Structure 1
Amino acid sequence: MDFKPLVTLLAIVNPLAIVPFFIHYTEGFSRQQRRSTIVTASFAAFVVIASSALLGTRILEFFSISLASFQVGGGMLLLTSALNMLNAHPAEAKSSSNELQDGVEKAAMGASIAVVPLTIPLLTGPATISTVVIYAERARHFLDLALLVGYGVVIGLATALCFALANPIARVLGKTGINVMTRLMGLILAALAVEVMADGLHKLFPILGR
């Protein structure tokens, strides 16, 4: 059983790093509202990962994009996310604070903040989707795809656990502890990103393997 996809996804999603955002966006919520937000965000994260695993390769085929090209592009995106994390920013948090605030305002007009911006783009964004599609393309059997979808369940549960324990986690780790955890996951993600890019470049340019 290959746990590398799970480790990669945990490094990218990194729900611990999103805990401060969760606390900020749910400030003033009742217990029931916060519980509903946790359930919605966790389920939405699972849906994004499962959809990418089951439909991602078909989208590549529709646009006539080779896996090797997608690996190089996805690897670059992962590396960018890793660099953000090494600077103690969440992997998927590529928007400015003003843009995130706009997202919250839009969410207030219709969609739940559990989906925007907590799930997309903070928890699951382009880097997460790229990673899942790459691993889905490598799947040889239906069991491999089912396992990838199962990893989505694990990510959803990890997200729910971190958000449910948001206040105790913030008190125990503090801002410094969360920053250290984010940088550590960023270092792991950077190594995985280089590996993905190297595999894609080797397929595009076989001469590099000589």
Structure 2
Amino acid sequence: MAQPNPRCNTCRVRNCSVLSNCSNNILEALSDNKEYLHFQRRERLLIEGQHGGGIYFIRSGIAKIEVNGKSGRPLILRLAGAGSVFGHRIRGSNNEQPLSVEAVEDLYVCHISLAYYDQLVEKSPALHSGMMQSLLNEIRQVELHAVRLTHLSVKERVAGTLLHIAALYQYQPGSNGIRVHLERQDLADLSGTTREQVSRMLSGLQQGGYIKYRGKHFKFFNLPGLQQIAALY
């Protein structure tokens, strides 16, 4: 659903996105040629295997990035929040989306077409550099995730996933906590384990005073304690 279009040069997440070093002229041009869209929870922005789709910049909300597994069930690779960009990896020879992106909660994004993105990149080395850095960061995340799956215990991986979620949802110690619209299977995918093991680990971490939760409402995170468990995070 289209929304009133915010300007890129005054966007509150500009400095944490690929647009951080772009000139005002590029930001003005982008503002004049983009859509500001709202996706409700469980709506998909991109679908694996589809052609086209454009470039999306997250202004607020959380999305999950998925690939189809052998069983046909989507597997979550990671979560992403404000400042993240999607759609730029379509530039392969088959011109298909390699990933699916779904809104975990209400998601507000800015969207431009692939054709207009190509025009902007030709005019802006800073945008091109930002996109390349984004791709390098994604590769680094994949490398670190592989290391964690190989070398860390289930408890360490679940603790790391909880830290990742607390950071994305901007959990503040002393607050009323955060409500996370993720299923136990989602947490299992992110942690590289099973839903049953995630449930056991969450119970154990709560008994140990590392978290307090009921259902999807995480009332408390002992951030130093979780960081000590998840040594590599």
Query: Is the TM-score greater than 0.5?
Result: no
More helix by share: 1
Q: Larger RCO: Structure 1 or Structure 2 (Cα < 8 Å, ≥ 6 residues apart)?
A: 1
Larger Rg: 2
